């Protein structure tokens, strides 16, 4: 098994771990509105290491899961996650973020943008949009970025970007 | 590790992106029913494991919450149950007090004992009834078990009672059998930290058996007759030739009394019937047996006298006296039942 294949398997394992955490640990945590979004962490970490098209496809899949499991407007989550995944991959190619803090910041910004798109696409009331975007989204972005930092530090070798020569 | 070469921006990426974007917009602007149908299908097929996982997690969380709730309820119940024995005891005590109040043939005022967190609390008791309720100085204070003390001072709404544990407390008393009189005073030699009483001034010739109930005699005009004071549990000392001092186990404990009755007026009444106790019932039983025996001996004497008379008539001789017909001995009747006790000059209450 080639080293490249091993790293991809490891990456998939981490993604699966985050998926399990999303559906098994997150419901047991505190207020759901500010607890970390493990699926978004998986999406952003994957997007920053994938091509924009694949990242958009991953975002679409994650968004579809979100739309299926949350009683929001169907399609809003898919649209938001597709855009976030695509932009995450595109932004990764613009800002070369080998620094884990920048990676975590990407996750936080991605979550806030995702919330913005979902709220607008769902046709939410302006006052609620303001409250969500100024209170709950930043708080959730902080917790999500914090956990992303933990993941990045724990699996540092796995997530290090290697430039091909 | 993912190589940066994997992230080359190609036409394929654009196509994928536009495809995903288009599908998302299609889902967004399609009728809600269709969206719900797709979501339902996905939930029941592909996402079923994830939904199942989340359901287990929610159950775990709610189980924890339920467990915490049950634990809290259990703790609350245990906390409340701690007071159950004391409530039962208080209830039983109030029932006893009610029964006593029905048996009393004198006026009374019920009062709560307002215990104070001080060492000398049991010597003087603060009572919740005062002059407004008719309480006056020297009103006797009783509990269902017996004598507690006497009112020392009275204000409008409260009164202070001197319990039998007070060093200056004295009450004239006699044994339930009526063969010994004396004065009951607090003992200085309480055993195991418990208060005790002394039955002083009992003539040397009148021995009092252990377990004998001692009652107030009613002499002195402070305490009515027949209120249990204590039970003889031993001899403290003997003044050779003229006096014995007995140790008494107090009938009522002022330290644990929560409700009492303050007796009003009628201090000349006999309250013996209001305080039935094992000793008292035993005394009544013995007294009844004594009466029967006396009646038997009297009947026997009468029969003997009649026989003698018949003999004398038949012999036509002068009438001879019936020496066998002796009257009942004095002093064997119970004072509770109206018998006159044979006793030396009784002492009087010195509490006044």
Yes or no, beta carbons of A75 and B29 under 8 Å apart: yes
**CATH value at residue B202:** 2.40.10.340
Domain count, chain A: 1
The reply to whether B8 touches chain A by the CB within 8 Å rule is yes
Decide if B246 is inside a domain.
yes
**What is the pLDDT at residue B5?**
45
A-facing residues of B in 63-82 (CB < 8 A) are: 64
Residue ranges making up the domain that contains B225: 101-280
Decide if B351 is inside a domain.
no
Q: What is the ipTM of this complex?
A: 0.79
- Over residues A38-89, the pLDDT tens digits come to 889 999 888 888 888 889 999 999 888 888 877 667 888 899 999 999 998 8
Yes or no, beta carbons of A68 and B47 under 8 Å apart: yes
Decide if B195 is inside a domain.
yes
Decide if A43 is inside a domain.
yes
**What is the pLDDT at residue B141?**
93
Q: Is the pLDDT of residue A28 over 80?
A: no
Decide if B67 is inside a domain.
no
Decide if B336 is inside a domain.
no
Decide if A165 is inside a domain.
no
Output the tens digit of pLDDT for each of chain B's 352 residues: 444 444 456 888 888 889 988 998 888 888 888 888 888 888 888 888 888 887 887 777 777 778 888 989 999 888 888 888 878 888 888 888 888 888 877 888 888 888 766 655 677 888 888 888 889 989 999 988 899 999 988 888 888 898 888 888 999 999 988 888 999 998 876 555 567 899 988 888 888 888 899 999 888 888 988 899 999 998 888 876 788 899 999 998 888 788 889 998 766 777 777 776 654 555 555 555 555 566 677 777 777 888 877 777 676 655 444 444 444 333 333 333 333 333 344 445 544 3
The minimal CB distance from A79 to the residues B28, B38, B50 is found for B28
Assessment of whether the complete model's pTM goes beyond 0.90: no
Decide if A164 is inside a domain.
no
Could you tell me which chain B residue has the CA closest to the CA of A93?
B7
The minimal CB distance from B6 to the residues A50, A57, A159 is found for A50
A-facing residues of B in 276-305 (CB < 8 A) are: none
Return the percentage of chain A with pLDDT > 90, whole number.
14
The 3-state secondary structure of chain B reads: CCEHHHHCCCHHHHHHHHHHHHHHHHHHHCCHHHHHHHHHHHHHCCCHHHHHHHHHHHHHHHHHHHHHHHHHHHHHHHHHHCCHHHHHHHHHHHHHHHHHHHHCCCEEEEEEECCCCCHHHHCEEEECCCHHHCCCCCCEEEECCEEEEEEEEECCCCEEEEECCCCCCCEEEEECCCCCEEEEEECCCCHHHCCCEEEEEEECCCCCCCCCEEEECCCCCCCCECCEEEEEEEEEEEECCCEEEEEEEECCCCCCCCEEEEEECCCCCECHHHCCCHHHHHHHHHHHHHHHHHHHHHHHHHHHHHHHHHHHHHHCCCCCCCCCCCCCCCCCCCCCCCCCCCCCCCCCCCCC
Yes or no, beta carbons of A7 and B26 under 8 Å apart: no
Residue ranges making up the domain that contains A59: 3-159
Decide if A58 is inside a domain.
yes
Q: Please state, in angstroms and as integers, the Cα–Cα distance from residue A35 to each residue in A30, A113, A136, A140, B240, following that order.
A: 6, 17, 10, 6, 92
**Residue A154 to residue B232: CA distance in whole angstroms:** 84
d(CA A26, nearest CA chain B) in Å: 8
Decide if B134 is inside a domain.
yes
Yes or no, beta carbons of A26 and B6 under 8 Å apart: no
The minimal CB distance from A53 to the residues B16, B28, B58 is found for B16
Most confidently modeled range among A1-10, A117-126, B138-147, B325-334: B138-147
Domain count, chain B: 1
**CATH value at residue A110:** 1.10.1760
Decide if B337 is inside a domain.
no
**What is the pLDDT at residue A48?**
83
**What is the pLDDT at residue B242?**
81
Yes or no, beta carbons of A161 and B43 under 8 Å apart: no
Contacts of B25 in chain A (CB under 8 A): 75, 79
- Over residues B168-205, the pLDDT tens digits come to 899 999 998 888 899 999 887 655 556 789 998 888 88
Decide if B241 is inside a domain.
yes
The minimal CB distance from A57 to the residues B7, B16, B27 is found for B16
The minimal CB distance from A162 to the residues B3, B43, B51 is found for B3
The reply to whether A54 touches chain B by the CB within 8 Å rule is yes
């Amino acid at each position: 098994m080639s080293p490249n294949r091993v790293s991809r398997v490891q990456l998939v394992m981490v993604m699966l771990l985050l998926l399990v955490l999303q559906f098994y640990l997150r419901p047991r945590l505190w207020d759901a509105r500010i607890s970390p979004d493990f699926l978004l962490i998986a999406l952003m970490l994957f997007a920053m290491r994938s091509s924009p098209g694949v990242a958009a496809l991953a975002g679409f899949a994650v968004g579809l899961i979100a739309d299926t499991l949350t009683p929001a407007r169907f399609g809003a989550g898919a649209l938001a996650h597709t855009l976030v995944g695509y932009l995450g991959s595109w932004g990764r190619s613009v800002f070369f973020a080998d620094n884990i803090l920048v990676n975590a910041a990407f996750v936080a910004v991605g979550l806030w943008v995702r919330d913005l798109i979902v709220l607008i696409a769902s046709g939410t009331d302006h006052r609620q949009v303001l409250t969500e975007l100024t209170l709950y989204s930043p708080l959730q972005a902080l917790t999500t970025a914090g956990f992303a930092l933990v993941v990045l530090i724990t699996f540092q070798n796995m997530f290090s970007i290697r430039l091909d020569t | 590790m993912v190589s940066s070469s994997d992230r080359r921006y190609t036409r394929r990426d654009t196509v994928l992106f536009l495809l995903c974007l288009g599908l998302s917009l299609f889902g967004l602007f399609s009728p809600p029913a269709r969206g719900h149908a797709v979501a339902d299908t996905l939930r029941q097929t592909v996402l079923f494991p994830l939904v199942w996982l989340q359901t287990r997690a929610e159950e775990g969380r709610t189980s924890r919450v339920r467990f915490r709730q049950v634990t809290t309820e259990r703790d609350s119940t245990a906390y409340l149950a701690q007071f159950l024995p004391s409530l039962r005891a208080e209830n039983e005590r109030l029932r006893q007090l009610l029964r006593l109040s029905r048996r009393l043939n004198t006026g009374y005022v019920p009062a709560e004992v307002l215990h104070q967190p001080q060492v000398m609390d049991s010597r003087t008791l603060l009572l919740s009834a005062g002059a407004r309720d008719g309480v006056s100085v020297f009103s006797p204070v009783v509990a269902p078990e017996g004598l507690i003390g006497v009112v020392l001072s009275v204000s409008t709404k409260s009164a202070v009672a001197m319990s039998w544990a007070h060093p200056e407390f004295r009450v004239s008393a006699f044994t339930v059998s009526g063969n010994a009189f004396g004065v009951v005073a607090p003992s200085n030699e309480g055993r195991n930290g418990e208060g005790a009483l002394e039955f002083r001034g009992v003539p040397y010739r009148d021995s009092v058996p252990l377990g004998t109930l001692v009652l107030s005699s009613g002499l002195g005009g402070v305490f009515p007759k027949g209120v249990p004071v204590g039970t003889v549990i031993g001899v403290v000392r003997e003044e050779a030739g003229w006096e014995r001092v007995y140790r008494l186990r107090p009938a009522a404990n002022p330290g644990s009394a929560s409700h009492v009755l303050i007796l009003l007026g009628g201090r000349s009444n006999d309250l013996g019937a209001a305080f039935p106790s094992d000793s008292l019932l035993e005394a009544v039983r013995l007294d009844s047996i004594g009466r029967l025996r006396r009646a038997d001996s009297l009947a026997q004497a009468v029969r003997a006298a009649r026989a003698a008379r018949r003999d004398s008539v038949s012999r036509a001789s002068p009438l001879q006296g019936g020496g066998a017909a002796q009257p009942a001995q004095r002093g064997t009747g119970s004072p509770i039942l109206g018998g006159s006790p044979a006793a030396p000059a009784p002492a009087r209450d010195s509490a006044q």
